A = this chain, B = another copy of it.
Amino acid sequence: MITVKEIAEITGGKVLGDPDVEIASINSLENAEAGEVTFLANRKYIQQAQETAASAIICAPDMEVADKTLVVMEKPYLGFAKMMQHFHPRKRPMVGVDPAAVVSDTAKVGEDVNIFEGAYVGEHAVVGDRVDIYPGCHIGDNSVIGNDTTLNANVSIYHDCVIGERVIIHSGTVVGSDGFGFATDEYGCHHKIPQVGNVVIEDDVEIGSNCSIDRAVIGSTRIGAGAKLDNLIQIAHNVQIGKRTFVVAQVGISGSSKVGDQAILAGQVGVVGHVEIGDRCIVAAQAGVSNSIPDDEVYWGSPARPMMEMKRIVAVQAKLPQLRSLVKKLEKRIEDLEAKGKK
């Protein structure tokens, strides 16, 4: 139990209504019941908020719902996140290092660690404190897992990689597989270039499920601190992802490309190799980035262009059949004019 006043303290909001209302949990607008707090971040749900059974609503200053106890703040979605974290703190398993887990003799394992049966920790690997390693995880030789990191079931970390602190990696994700590097000879045979670099994942990164993050050919593929990656993402060798950058599902970034800090690559975006996408750039869904993009730009389309330019192009595209008809009619009118002129 927590009072609305305490919710305001945790979220940095302001109470409108009775600060002593007691709250037991958090729920969505449609499912919340009495004794629960909910949140409103989008004006289009204001009617639903009016009808919710929730005992309190976290909302923005311009979305004040009548006759409800409110916790008002500039960033209600952030308030929602903080209350979700309050009511649903990280749950840790309590298996310790299972005697049937395979932990190499030369590995170093920290304090208060869970390693499930069916996980494998290679030679000279280092596992920090309060790390959770679920079944089926593989940690290759010499890799390092920072404190408070969680590897969900069936994550594969190859050898010599470095995973920071408070990192979360979801199932099926592969870190450190060989980059796609071959040199083709005069007979068309492809000779493998050994990929001898590694992957460095900095602190506070979260990576979704079934991502592929290749090790560098030489040096490091790097995911910057606080970056968040969704599912099924391809990160090729020697790619650099900036700090606090969002990479949405099914994005593919080709070798040696660099994405700046605080950028957003939306779903299914593709990026060619050896380009730079600047800080705070936004690349819209399904775009194909074939050239570098300066800081603070918004791009869209395949090939990707500045958003405003692309929007204008798409608007004309939508009317292409009409444009062609118009041109055909103009041609006819010119013919008529020409015919008249000849008379």
The reply to whether the CB of A236 lies closer than 8 angstroms to some CB of chain B is yes
B252 touches A252 (CB 8 A): no
Q: Which of B28, B116, B330 contacts A334 (CB 8 A)?
A: B330
B153 and A171 form a contact (CB under 8 A): no
CA A303 – CA B313 in complex, angstroms? Answer: 12
Complex interface: stretch among A1-9, A105-113, A224-232: A224-232
A327 close to chain B: CB less than 8 A: yes
B120 touches A135 (CB 8 A): yes
Q: Which of A28, A136, A262, A288 has the most CB of B within 10 A?
A: A136
How far, in Å, is A322 (CB) from chain B's closest CB?
9
Q: Report how far A185 CA is from B204 CA in the complex, Å.
A: 15
Which B residues touch A117, using CB under 8 A? Answer: 102, 120
Q: List 27 A-B contacts (CB under 8 A).
A: A26-B218, A80-B193, A81-B183, A82-B183, A85-B192, A88-B196, A152-B158, A154-B174, A156-B171, A168-B178, A171-B177, A172-B173, A180-B230, A188-B262, A208-B214, A210-B232, A212-B249, A234-B267, A249-B252, A250-B250, A267-B272, A270-B285, A285-B288, A316-B323, A333-B334, A334-B337, A337-B341
Taking A102-B116, A286-B288, A302-B302 as given, write out 6 further A-B residue pairs in contact, using a Cβ cutoff of 8 Å, ordered by the A residue number.
Answer: A84-B194, A153-B156, A158-B171, A249-B252, A316-B320, A316-B324
Residues of A at the B interface (CB closer than 8 Å) are 26-28, 31, 75, 77-78, 80-82, 84-85, 88-89, 100, 102, 116-118, 120, 134-136, 138, 140, 152-154, 156, 158, 168, 170-174, 177-178, 180-186, 188-194, 196, 206, 208-212, 214, 217-219, 226, 228, 230-232, 234, 236, 244, 246, 248-250, 252, 254, 262, 267-268, 270, 272, 285-286, 288, 290, 302-303, 305, 312-321, 323-324, 326-327, 330-331, 333-334, 337-338, 340-341
